[in-house]
Amino acid sequence: MNLSKIKIFWLLFLIKFAEANILYDVLKQRTGDPCENLYRHTCPLGVNRTISQELEKSINPILQKFDETQDAVRKTYSFLKIDNIQRIIESAIESMTFIKICEKFNLTKGVQYLENILEQTKKVMIEDIKNTNWLLKHNQTDIAIRVIEKIYLTFDSKNQEKVKFFFKDFENCFNSCLKDFPNSTEVCVTHGYECAAKHNFTWIDLIKTANGVNEHNKIINFGISFILYASQTQDEVLKVALIASLMAHELSHTMMNSITASNDNILSYFPPKAEDCITKQYESTCKTYKEIKCFMTFRQLEEAGADVIGMNLAYKLFKNIINQSASESILKKLNLSNIDQLFFLTYWSILCRPEKITTTEMKDHPANNIRINAVVQLPEFQKSFNCSADSTMMKSRTDQCLIYGKKSKFK
Ligand SMILES: [Zn+2]
C-alpha cells in the first residue's frame, strides 16, 4: 500500500467513525429553520432516532451484566452481613458493583473525562461568582466559592478509591480478628466495620436513564450512558457538545436558589428580579411554542433557573474547550458555518422527543421544547444563525437574564 492509499484508508476510517456517532447522526436529521423553531429544527416531529433513546440503548450490554456482577460482589463479601450496619454494606456493595462494571467495560477514560469537564465547569462558575456584584453586596461570594469548589461526581476516581479502601480495611481487620477469635464472626464484622468506617465514601448509584442529578449535597451523579459515550467517543467536539449543557445545568442547580431542596440552599439571598426575568422568558417561549399544553409555573422556576445560569456557563465552557480549527471537519460535514451553530444545535440534545410536547402544572421541569428554545436568551444565538429580528425565535426573546458574572445587573 503506498502512502496516499494509506491516507485514503485512514480518511475513510475517520469519516466512518465520525458517522458512527449518535450525536452526529441525529444532527443530520435537521429540517426547517433554526430561527423559527430551534427545537423542531434539530428534533423534527416523528423523527425515528433520538439521542436519549440511543444512549439508553447503548448501555444494554452493561445492564445485562449488572445483576451478575452484583451477585459476584455480594458473594465475595457475604461474610459482612450484620443487621446494624446493613445499609452501609448495601451501599458499599452497590458502589463496588459500579466499580467492577467500570473495569469490565473499560470506562475509566469516560470517568476521567467527566471529572475533567466538571473541574473546568467549576472554574468558569467560580470566575463568574467572583465577578458578581449582588453576591458581594449580600456577603455570599466566599460561601458560594467554597461550595462550588467541593462539588464532585459520585463515581469519580477519589470516591472509587475510598470504596476500595473500605473493603480492603474491612477484610484485613475482619480476618485478623477471626484468627484471634475463631468463633466470633459477628464481633469481627463489627470490628472490621470500625476499621473501615473512616473511608467515608459516597454511595455510587447506577443511573440507567440518559440524565444527570444534582443531589444538592455537593454531589452530582450522571447516567452511566454518558460515561460510556465519553469513553467511546474519540472526537472532542462531539464529546463536549453532548455533555457541556448537562454538566453546566447540574452545577447551576447549586447556584439557583432552590425551591425543591430549600433546606440546603447555599444562598440566603437571590435577586427577586432575576426570578422574574427567568419566568418572563419561559412564559414567552411557552406562549410561542405550545404544542399541546404549555405552562410555566413557580414550581418549575428552579429548573428554568438552572437552565438560564447553565446556558451561559455551557456556552463559555464550550468555547473554552473547542476552537474553530478543531471543529472544522465536523462543521463541514454538517454544513455549518461556525462553532456557535454547533453549540446551539447540540444544546440539551438529550431533550429531543419525536411526539408533540405537553406539560402539566405539576411538573418540576418546563416542557422540553421550551427548555431548548429559551436558549434564544444568549445574544450569540441570533448572531450565529443570522436570525432576523422578526423571526419567531427572536420575537419570543425577552430581556437577557445574566445572573452571574461581571455583566450581571441584578441587585
Ligand atoms: Zn435539573
Tens digit of each residue's pLDDT (9 = 90 or more) over 360-392: 888 889 999 999 999 999 999 999 999 999 999
Quote the ligand 1 centre to 14 CA distance (angstroms): 35
Q: Which of 281, 212, 284, 224 is nearest to 252 (CA)?
A: 212
CATH architecture of 19-49+107-153+235-395: 3-Layer(aba) Sandwich (3.40)
Q: How far is CA 299 from CA 275, 302, 303, in A?
A: 12, 7, 9
The pTM (predicted TM-score) of the whole model is 0.91
Q: Once rounded to an integer, what is the mean pLDDT over residues 344-363?
A: 92
Cα torsion through 27, 28, 32, 38, rounded to 10? 0
In the chain, the N- to C-terminal Cα span, in Å, equals 68
Quote the ligand 1 centre to 82 CA distance (angstroms): 37
Which of 161-165, 257-261, 311-315, 340-344 is predicted least confidently? Answer: 257-261
Do residues 116 and 224 touch, judged by C-beta distance below 8 A?
Answer: no
pLDDT above 70 (res 4): no
pLDDT above 80 (res 80): no
pLDDT above 70 (res 84): no
Residue 155 phi, psi (nearest 5): -95, 15
Quote the ligand 1 centre to 113 CA distance (angstroms): 21
Quote the ligand 1 centre to 306 CA distance (angstroms): 6
What's the rounded Cα separation, in Å, for the pair 363 and 295? 9
Tens digits of per-residue pLDDT, 127-141? 999 999 999 999 999
Q: What pLDDT score was predicted for residue 16? A: 47
> pLDDT band at 48, cuts 50/70/90?
confident
Quote the ligand 1 centre to 324 CA distance (angstroms): 30
Quote the ligand 1 centre to 314 CA distance (angstroms): 14
Tens digits of per-residue pLDDT, 201-231? 999 989 999 999 888 778 899 999 999 999 9
User: For the chain, where do the domains classified as CATH 3.40.390.10 start and end?
Assistant: 19-49+107-153+235-395
Q: What pLDDT score was predicted for residue 138? A: 95
Quote the ligand 1 centre to 171 CA distance (angstroms): 39
> pLDDT band at 156, cuts 50/70/90?
very high
- Look at 83 and 307; give whichever has higher pLDDT: 307
Tens digits of per-residue pLDDT, 7-28? 555 555 444 444 478 888 889 8
> pLDDT band at 89, cuts 50/70/90?
confident
Mean pLDDT rounded to a whole number for the chain? 90
Quote the ligand 1 centre to 202 CA distance (angstroms): 21
Quote the ligand 1 centre to 157 CA distance (angstroms): 24
Tens digits of per-residue pLDDT, 270-292? 999 999 999 999 999 999 999 99
Which of 26-40, 77-91, 188-202 is predicted least confidently? Answer: 77-91
